[in-house]
Chains A and B, each alone.
Chain A
C-alpha cells in the first residue's frame, strides 16, 4: 500500500499543485481545507505523514498539530509563512517534526517527507538494552521506560534520544544531530534540535528544568549524561 499523506492547506490552488507534485512521487494525497476537516479525515483514516499549514481558518495549524499528537506519533511537517518568527518554535512545540517556509519547492517538500518516512521506519539500531539511572531504552522495540513505565515519544524524539544514547557522554553538536536525524546539511535550523530536546526532556526527565539525562553543553551541543 502506498504512503498516504494528509495535506492541510486552505489555499485551494496551492493544495492542488502540492497534491499533483506529491502524487508525482507516487504517494497518495488526501486534501483538507480546514483544521476541522483534517481532524475528521485523520480519525477516519490515519496518514503516514501530515502536512499542516499554520494559517488556517477556524482552528489553526498549532491546534490541529496538538490534537493529532494526543493520539498519534505520525510525522508532521508544518508550513509557516516566515522562518524568522516565533511560528517555527511554536509549531515545533506543538509537536511538529519538521517545518517548511512558504514558498517552498515541491522537491524540498518531498525530500523532507522522505527523511521523515525513513526515520519512522528505521530500526537499524541493533544495540539491545541501554540503561541510564531511572531510564531504560530498548531501541529494537522502540520503547523507552522511566521507572519501569513506558514513556511515549514521537519517532523524532526517540531518534534524538537513541542517537545520544549510542555514545553516552559524547557531545553532539546541533549540526551533527540535524544531519543524522533530519538529513539536513550544515544549514539546518538549530531550533529543530533545541525544541526537540526540550520536548524530550519533559518526557524523560524527573525535573525538565534541571535535566539529569539530556544535558546542554554550552556552546557545543547536547550529550547524554552517564
Chain B
C-alpha cells in the first residue's frame, strides 16, 4: 500500500482548519503562560513584602522583650496578621508555639544563614503546602527570630487562575478551528461552483457557465473558465453542425440517385448484361450510402444535444417481437420471460427498434448471424439480449466496439467490410438516452459467440 504524507491525505479544508487551530492554540498557550507567570511573581512578591514588614516589627518587639519575658509568652503575644508562625532561636534551642512549626519545619539552609548573622527569607514546601520562612538575627541579644507564613491562599488563587487560562486557551483554539473552517469554506466556495460547472459540462450541458463574480480575485478564474466553456461549446457545435450540414446536403443528391436507380431497376430486364451488373452494384451501395448518411445525421444530432425522446407507452414484448420480425433477420428465435408478457414501458419506439435492428445487423455482419434474441427480467429493469455464433469479442475490444467507426481488432476477420461502424455507437446512444446501458459479453455455456445485452430501466406503471 502506498503511503501519503498527512498533508496529502487530509483535504485542503481540513488542513486550513488544522492550521488555524494550531495557531490559536500556540498563541493562547503563550499568552496564558506569560499571564500566569507574571501574576504568580506579582502575588508572591507582594505577600513576601508584607510578611517581611510584619516580621521586622515582631523582631523589634522580640529584641526589646526577650530578656525579660519567657520565650513562649513572648511568642504568644506577637501580632501575626498574616497567620505567621513565630519561632525563636535563643542561642541554644528553637522555641515555637506548636511542635509542627518548630525547628524541623524550618529549612536547614535558612537556619544556617540566619544564625550566621544574615537576615534571609526562603520559599519552601512543607507537607505539600507552599510556605515562606523569614529569619532575622538579633545579634545584640544573641537570638534569631523566625516566622513561617503560609502561601497556600496565593497558590489557590494561582491554580484558579490557571484553570481559567486553560479554559480560555481551549475556547480560543476551538474558535480558531471554527474560523479556519469558515474561512476555508468561504475561500473554497467558488471552487465548488467551478467543480459542479465542470461536471455539468462533462455531462454534455455545454451551455453551463459560472456566475460572473464581483470579487476581483475570482473574476479572472471565472472569466477564463467561461471562456474555456464557450470555446468548447463553439467547437463542439461547429463540429456537430458540420457533420449535420454535410449529411443534410448529401440527402438531396442521394434521394435523386436512389429514385433514379429505382427507375432504372424497373427497366432492369431491358438492359444489356454489363449494364445490369453495374446497376446491381449501384442498387446495393445506394442503400448502404443512405444508411450511412442517416446514421451520421442521427449521431450528429446526439452531438448537438438536440435529441429528444418521443416517449410513448409501449408493450415491450410486442415491440421486441415486431422489431425482430421486421428486421433483415426475421427468422431469429425470440425468447420471452413469461412474467414480462404484459409489461408496458415508456420508450421511444423508433429508437428501440433501431437498437434491435442494429444489433441483429451487427450479428449478421460480424457474428455469423444471430442465434437468438431474448427479453428477460433483470434486477433493475429488463434486458434485451442478442446472441450470435461468431468468434465473440475479445476482452480488450468490449468497450471499444461501441465507439464510432471502431469495429474492434478482429472485425476484419469476422466478416466482410460491409459495416460502417456506426451501428453499435448509435445503439449505445439510443440506450443511454433511455437511461439504460449496453454491453457485450461472451455467449457462455461453452459456446462460441457474443451476447449483446441492452438493459433498460422500467418505471412502475400506475
A130 smallest CB distance to B (angstroms): 30
Q: Which residues of A lie under 8 Å from residue B70 when comparing CB positions?
A: none
B358 smallest CB distance to A (angstroms): 15
Interface of B: prevailing SS: helix
Q: Is the CB of B312 within 8 A of A14?
A: no
Residue of A nearest to B257 (CB): A17
Q: Do A13 and B253 form a contact, CB below 8 Å, given A21-B263, A107-B262? A: yes
Q: Is the CB of B312 within 8 A of A20?
A: no
Whether A102 is near chain B, meaning CB under 8 Å from some CB there, is yes
Interface string of B147-176 (1 = CB under 8 A from A): 000000000000000000000000000000
Q: Is the CB of B308 within 8 A of A14?
A: no
Whether A106 is near chain B, meaning CB under 8 Å from some CB there, is yes
Whether A219 is near chain B, meaning CB under 8 Å from some CB there, is yes
Whether B310 is near chain A, meaning CB under 8 Å from some CB there, is yes
Q: Do A24 and B266 form a contact, CB below 8 Å, given A14-B252, A102-B251, A185-B326? A: yes
The tally of CB-CB contacts under 8 A between chains A and B is: 65
Whether B248 is near chain A, meaning CB under 8 Å from some CB there, is yes
Q: Do A14 and B260 form a contact, CB below 8 Å, given A83-B350, A84-B308, A219-B313? A: no
Q: Which residues of A lie under 8 Å from residue B266 when comparing CB positions?
A: 24
Residue of A nearest to B294 (CB): A103
A14 smallest CB distance to B (angstroms): 5
Q: Is the CB of B259 within 8 A of A17?
A: yes
B256, B259, B293, B308 — most chain A CB neighbours (10 Å): B259
Docked complex: B227-266 residues within 8 A CB-CB of A: 248, 251-256, 258-260, 262-263, 266
A24, A81, A102, A186 — most chain B CB neighbours (10 Å): A186
Residue of B nearest to A110 (CB): B262
Q: Do A20 and B290 form a contact, CB below 8 Å, given A187-B322, A219-B344? A: no
Q: Is the CB of A13 within 8 A of B256?
A: yes
Whether A206 is near chain B, meaning CB under 8 Å from some CB there, is no
A120 to B308, CA, bound (A): 35
Whether B353 is near chain A, meaning CB under 8 Å from some CB there, is yes
Q: Do A20 and B256 form a contact, CB below 8 Å, given A186-B326, A190-B312? A: no
A13 to B258, CA, bound (A): 12
Residue of A nearest to B290 (CB): A103
A11 to B313, CA, bound (A): 38
Whether B349 is near chain A, meaning CB under 8 Å from some CB there, is yes
A209 to B259, CA, bound (A): 43
B161 smallest CB distance to A (angstroms): 81
Q: Which residues of A lie under 8 Å from residue B251 when comparing CB positions?
A: 81, 102-103
Q: Which residues of A lie under 8 Å from residue B312 when comparing CB positions?
A: 190
Residue of A nearest to B263 (CB): A20
Q: Is the CB of B258 within 8 A of A20?
A: no
Whether A6 is near chain B, meaning CB under 8 Å from some CB there, is no
Q: Is the CB of A17 within 8 A of B256?
A: yes
Q: Is the CB of B353 within 8 A of A187?
A: yes
A143 smallest CB distance to B (angstroms): 34
A84 to B310, CA, bound (A): 8
Residue of B nearest to A88 (CB): B310
Docked complex: A4-26 residues within 8 A CB-CB of B: 11, 13-14, 16-18, 20-21, 24
A81 to B247, CA, bound (A): 12
Q: Which residues of B lie under 8 Å from residue A84 when comparing CB positions?
A: 301, 307-308, 310, 350
B354 smallest CB distance to A (angstroms): 11
Docked complex: B264-294 residues within 8 A CB-CB of A: 266, 290, 293
| B interface with A by C-beta (< 8 Å) | 248, 251-256, 258-260, 262-263, 266, 290, 293, 301, 307-308, 310, 312-313, 318, 322, 326, 344, 349-350, 353
20 additional A-B pairs beyond A14-B259, A84-B307, A104-B255, beta carbons within 8 Å, are A11-B252, A14-B256, A17-B255, A17-B256, A17-B263, A21-B263, A81-B248, A81-B251, A83-B350, A102-B251, A103-B251, A103-B254, A103-B258, A105-B259, A106-B258, A106-B259, A186-B318, A187-B349, A187-B353, A219-B313
21 A–B contacts from the bound complex (CB under 8 Å): A11-B256, A13-B252, A13-B256, A14-B252, A14-B259, A17-B255, A17-B256, A17-B263, A20-B263, A103-B252, A103-B290, A104-B255, A105-B262, A106-B258, A106-B263, A107-B262, A186-B318, A186-B326, A187-B349, A187-B353, A219-B313
The 10 closest A-B pairs by CB, nearest first: A17-B259, A103-B255, A186-B322, A13-B256, A17-B256, A20-B263, A106-B259, A21-B259, A106-B262, A17-B260
